[in-house]
Structure 1
Amino acid sequence: MNAAAPSRTVTGLIFSVSADDAPEDIMEILIKFNPTSSILNARRMGNSNALQVRFDGTIIPYHLSYRCQPFRRRTEACIRCWRTGHQPDVCPIS
């Protein structure tokens, strides 16, 4: 279970990270080469080559040895009732 992010944090995505690189190793590199950025954590997005990185503050650095883009969570949409916020397997209408 993931805890809710603190209100003064922002999340970014880093792409093209080798599957051989552990998030902890990438985070260590990011902290070493970006001492002015306050990096809280990094985690891999499933089996992809992308990492989700959480920063303290409200600004995502554009470049940190890797290009970093804002993370935007996809909105869930139910195909049963066409409302947002849930999926068909947990639809309140069924």
Structure 2
Amino acid sequence: MEVIKRLIRRVVGAFLTLLLLWQFFILVKVFAKNDLPLIDTTIQAVRYPICAIANPSEVCQKYFPYGHKFYSLYGQELVKEAKLLKEFIVNLWEK
């Protein structure tokens, strides 16, 4: 029983590690494809969600333009990658 628990933990750990690497890959892709300043975008990407909780979207777009652009592009890339992953899994399943 203990062996099965360890195996499950390792499989879950490996899955979460791959998921984290996938997210990092998407982040790098967003920065590489778009002309975003690294430091300013990083700072605004941290502050933008805090602003968005308490204020309308227009206010946050005005004060954190790089943060808004980053999340917009990140969301688009995430959707694209998710569709590719879905197609890959469906193709594997059908074979």
- Scaled by the length of structure 2, the TM-score of the pair is 0.30
Larger radius of gyration: 2
- Scaled by the length of structure 1, the TM-score of the pair is 0.30
